[in-house]
């Protein structure tokens, strides 16, 4: 349900007048509806209720700690692309085993931190990246969970 509505010609977010928020906090101002986030999460979760699934919030979409805590409390996982995002997700209470970690630009230190944290999986995009993750995991006497992102060798011009 959309929580942003006009009442008597004034935009509200839930019960708060957006104009009053802008006056109090200044602009530019980002205003989020907690109830709308909850409703959208529950709708997505419900849509997959008949199958085992994980909903992983894209941490690059919004790193606001209160939003991340809300997502964690709802049961969401996280989808991160940096050590900083992994750190924020864990700090917000998102369990490591619900975090997927993408990005070919991960440093050895970030890979090690992710393995130590017990993430759900690395989203690996190349053979070289897979070798690096594996080498670091072996040096830690561990195994790194991975998922493979595969490019089916389709020309950049697309296909029919």
C-alpha atoms less than 13 angstroms from C-alpha of 42 in its C-beta half-sphere: 8
**pLDDT tens string 34-74:** 999 999 999 999 999 999 999 999 999 999 999 999 999 99
> Tell me, what's the pLDDT at 126?
86
Q: pLDDT below 50 — which residues of the chain?
A: none
If you search the block for the tokens 């349900």, which residue do you land on?
1
Q: Which two tokens stand for residue 58?
A: 């894209």
> Tell me, what's the pLDDT at 125?
86
Domains of the chain: 52-148 (3.20.20.10)
> Tell me, what's the pLDDT at 159?
59
Q: Which residues partner with 12 through β-bridges? A: 5, 17
Compute CA 156 distance to the chain's CA centroid, rounded to the nearest angstrom: 28
pTM above 0.75, yes or no: yes
CA–CA distance, 114 with 86 (Å, rounded to integer) = 8
CA–CA distance, 15 with 5 (Å, rounded to integer) = 9
CA–CA distance, 3 with 34 (Å, rounded to integer) = 9
Nearest to 74 by CA among 107, 38, 48: 38
Which are the contacts of 137, defined by CB distance < 8 A and separation ≥ 6?
A: 115, 143, 144
CA–CA distance, 33 with 27 (Å, rounded to integer) = 17
């Amino acid at each position: 349900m959309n929580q942003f509505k006009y009442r008597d010609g004034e935009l509200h977010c839930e019960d708060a007048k957006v104009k009053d928020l802008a006056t109090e906090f200044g602009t530019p101002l980002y205003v989020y509806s907690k109830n709308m986030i909850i409703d959208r999460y529950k709708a997505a979760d419900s849509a997959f209720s008949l199958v085992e699934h994980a909903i992983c919030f894209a941490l690059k979409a919004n790193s606001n700690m209160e939003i991340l805590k809300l997502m964690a409390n709802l049961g969401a996982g996280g989808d991160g692309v940096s050590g900083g995002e992994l750190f924020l997700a864990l700090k917000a209470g998102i369990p490591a085993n619900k975090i997927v970690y993408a990005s070919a630009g991960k440093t050895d230190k970030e890979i090690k931190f992710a393995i130590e944290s017990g993430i759900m999986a690395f989203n690996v995009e190349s053979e070289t990246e897979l070798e690096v993750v594996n080498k670091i995991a072996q040096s830690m006497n561990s195994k790194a969970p991975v998922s493979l992102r595969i490019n089916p060798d389709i020309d950049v011009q697309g296909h029919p």
